[in-house]
Amino acid sequence: MELNFKHIFTASMVLFAVIDIIGNIPIIIDLRRKTGHIQSGKATIIAGIILTVFLFVGQSMLNLIGINVSQFAIAGSFVLFFLALEMILGITLFKEDDEETLSDASVFPIAFPLVAGPGSLTSILSLRAEFKVENIIVAILVNMVIMYIVLKASARIERWLGQNGIRILRKVFGVILLAIAVKLFTTSIQKIFA
């Protein structure tokens, strides 16, 4: 096992930017309001497992079902697009009638697709081509620790920002998320037709 701290730092920064857990705070606060509470530990563990498993089997799994990374990213861009619309327009698209599933917002949409989404899964495949597996695993762990802290502190962050602060943050990050969804879509479409 060969750990390279420069590679770990680079991979951690790439994943941090793509996962954008800080930018997802408005969505997390909104989901916590809808569901009552979010299981931080459960969301973190599931997201970490999805990212780690995808690191090892992602490419082969997509190849097996005849999907390439670009097609996968396009599908994920639609999910991000609808989440962004929710934030900007103040409409509710993510809605569960069943109380049991509603309490699992920690799995969907937080663990997947917000954290372990198309952007981070595609990045994992790109990082795999550049760095050793053990360095990427450490980078995933670093990001999961940050995610856990943010999820745990979401109630405090909400109190600190206040209602207006959250509303503004929600709209701003909604537009950013929309832009990310469009970028992911256009980049992937170009790759498919290139």
- For the chain, the distance separating the N- and C-terminal CA atoms, rounded to the nearest angstrom, is 38
Q: What is the pLDDT of residues 154-166, one digit of tens each?
A: 888 888 888 788 7
Using pLDDT thresholds of 50, 70 and 90, give the confidence band for residue 1: confident
**Short-list 24, 43, 150, CA closest to 104:** 43
Q: What average pLDDT does range 87-106 have in this prediction? A: 64
Q: What average pLDDT does range 25-46 have in this prediction? A: 87
How many Cα atoms within 13 Å fall on the side-chain side of residue 68?
6
Q: Does residue 112 come out as left (phi exceeding 0), alpha (psi in the -120 to 50 range) or beta?
A: beta
Q: What average pLDDT does range 79-83 have in this prediction? A: 78
Which are the contacts of 120, defined by CB distance < 8 A and separation ≥ 6? 15, 18, 19, 51
Q: What average pLDDT does range 101-115 have in this prediction? A: 76
pLDDT at 26: 80
pLDDT at 104: 63
The pair of three-digit structure tokens given for residue 18, joined into one six-digit string: 């793509």
Q: pTM (2 decimals)? A: 0.74
Helices (H) and strands (E) in the chain, counts: 7, 0
pLDDT at 95: 56
pLDDT at 94: 58
Between residues 95 and 165, which one has the greater pLDDT?
165
pLDDT at 44: 96
